[in-house]
Amino acid sequence: MALPPLDIPAYGIVSLGGVTTGLSLFAWDFTRWWTNHKKRFALKALRDLAPQFLCLSYGALLILCVGGIIGSIADWSLWGTNAVGDVVLVYGFGATTPTVTRSSHLALTPGGHATVIVITVVMVAVCSRRGFRWDLVRQIFAGISLGLAKSIAGFVGLAVAPTVSWAGDYVVGLL
């Protein structure tokens, strides 16, 4: 028995303000990492940076979930980061904020959506065990902001989505 989908409207548009917000959130934590490590390419330093990239990738996966409650929360977060970035660019610097959304949307396969559910459970388990961490939340918002961008900023979504979809389809037996 198939359940009917929720009719929650999707926004799915990235403005220059949203990309600016996403890059700023990423730059905040990356700069702190850079200044705290003298040997930046040592294994310990890279291990400290790995959760940031994983959360960035997770945020990009969330915005690629095209509907449902989780997809809508990511969509509303994208709207919020677009609004914040647009206000700063327009009223703070007098710039314009064109749309920079990728012309062809990536979509996760059913196995990819199942993988995002498993990753979400892992994220909740990690955060409930180690406590709330703003650095992880910032990177998730950065991934949401950058996941649909058509420039090099959107590379995270472009690289992660096919991999997660393939892995999810393989694990659940859809291939």
pLDDT digits (tens, 9 = 90+) for 45-88: 788 888 888 899 899 888 888 777 888 888 888 889 999 999 99
- Measure Cα distances from 123 to 127, 128, 140, 160 in Å: 6, 8, 11, 17
> Band of the pLDDT at 28, cuts 50, 70, 90?
very high
- Measure Cα distances from 14 to 46, 91, 138, 143 in Å: 30, 18, 17, 12
Q: What is the pLDDT of residues 99-143, one digit of tens each?
A: 877 766 677 888 888 888 898 898 888 877 777 778 888 999 999
With contact defined as beta carbons under 8 Å apart, do 116 and 167 qualify?
A: no
With contact defined as beta carbons under 8 Å apart, do 112 and 66 qualify?
A: no
Local structure of residue 92 (DSSP, 8 states): I
Reading the block at residue 93, the tokens are 């610097």
> Band of the pLDDT at 3, cuts 50, 70, 90?
low
- Measure Cα distances from 12 to 42, 105, 153 in Å: 38, 9, 16
Reading the block at residue 3, the tokens are 């359940």
Asked whether the predicted pLDDT for residue 21 surpasses 90, the reply is yes
**pLDDT given for residue 87 in this prediction:** 92
Residues 159, 108, 22, 29, CA torsion sign: negative
Of the CA atoms within 13 Å of residue 29, those in its CB half-sphere come to: 23
Phi, psi of 99 (to 5 degrees): -80, 135
Q: What is the pLDDT of residues 144-155, one digit of tens each?
A: 888 888 877 778
